[in-house]
């Protein structure tokens, strides 16, 4: 008889979010790419100035978030699967709060795990019970923080089975967070690996086109003609100024 797999919707541990984190996109690298890829220096500077107000900027940001979410999930899934704690993790969506005062971005996922995975998690918690008790102290209420979870490891809420902690939408993520932290796989370690494998997907041609259309900037032959006309105007103004100039000799 085939063993049954279980599924629980929860959150992905160790993800630090995007706001003011290692995953807050590095716009200085985008500026460097613009300067390197656009030969027209004036157009390059204009693209840098206008970048945050373009559709291309929004597209780059959305693609960046998708890359980070996908690769971060893959990193966590690979580690937990390799150690026998889950079968797979499927990304559902990225949650972003309207305000970042008390919360940050979170990746919502669905965990799939087998009976063997459950046993592996139970064994790990039992073997590292003192560390597990210490981890749960973060749920103890204190000044400025009201907890809605027990912080006693022997409470019913934290029984490590599919009727309690492993079926709870919050606690499942916490159990796996503890395991990762106890394995010294903190958010910085995972984030650094993910960051090395992500890049800002800038479409330089689309950016140029959008900025040119928006600002009316002249390029190519049109720019050459416009520059020539500007020079003619300057020469006319200069000649006019010189014709009216009063020279005073002492």
pLDDT digits (tens, 9 = 90+) for 56-98: 999 999 999 999 999 999 999 999 999 999 999 999 999 999 9
**Is the domain of 212 the same as that of 232?**
no
**Is the domain of 85 the same as that of 96?**
yes
pLDDT score of 142 more than 90: no
pLDDT score of 237 more than 70: no
For 26-40, letters b (16+ CB in 10 Å) and e give eeeebeeebeeebee
Residue 1 lies in a domain: no
Domain extent at residue 162:
6-217
pLDDT digits (tens, 9 = 90+) for 147-173: 888 889 989 999 999 999 999 999 999
**Is the domain of 227 the same as that of 131?**
no
Can you give the pLDDT at residue 26? 87
**Is the domain of 86 the same as that of 188?**
yes
Highest mean pLDDT among 106-115, 209-218, 229-238: 106-115
Domains identified in the chain, total number: 2
**Is the domain of 238 the same as that of 198?**
no
**Is the domain of 113 the same as that of 228?**
no
């Amino acid at each position: 008889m085939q063993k049954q797999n279980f599924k629980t919707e929860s959150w992905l541990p160790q993800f630090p979010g995007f706001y003011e984190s290692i995953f807050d996109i590095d716009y200085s690298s985008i500026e460097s790419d613009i300067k390197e890829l656009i030969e027209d220096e004036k157009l390059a500077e204009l693209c840098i100035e206008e970048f945050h107000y373009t559709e291309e900027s929004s597209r780059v940001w959305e693609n960046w978030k998708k890359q980070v979410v996908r690769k971060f999930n893959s990193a966590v899934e690979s580690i937990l699967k390799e150690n026998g704690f889950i079968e797979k993790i499927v990304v559902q969506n990225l949650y972003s709060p309207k305000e970042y005062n008390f919360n940050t971005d979170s990746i919502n996922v669905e965990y799939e795990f087998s009976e063997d995975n459950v046993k592996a998690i139970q064994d790990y918690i039992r073997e590292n019970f003192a560390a597990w008790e210490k981890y749960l102290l973060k749920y103890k209420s204190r000044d400025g923080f009201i907890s809605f979870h027990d912080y006693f490891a022997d409470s019913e809420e934290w029984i490590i089975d599919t009727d309690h902690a492993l079926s709870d939408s919050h606690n499942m993520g916490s159990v796996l967070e503890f395991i990762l932290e106890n394995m010294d796989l903190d958010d910085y370690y995972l984030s650094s690996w993910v960051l090395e494998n992500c890049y800002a997907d800038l479409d330089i041609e689309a950016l140029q086109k959008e900025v040119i259309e928006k600002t009316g900037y002249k390029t190519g032959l049109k720019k050459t003609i416009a520059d020539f006309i500007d020079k003619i105007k300057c020469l006319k103004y200069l000649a006019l100024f010189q014709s009216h100039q009063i020279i005073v000799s002492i």
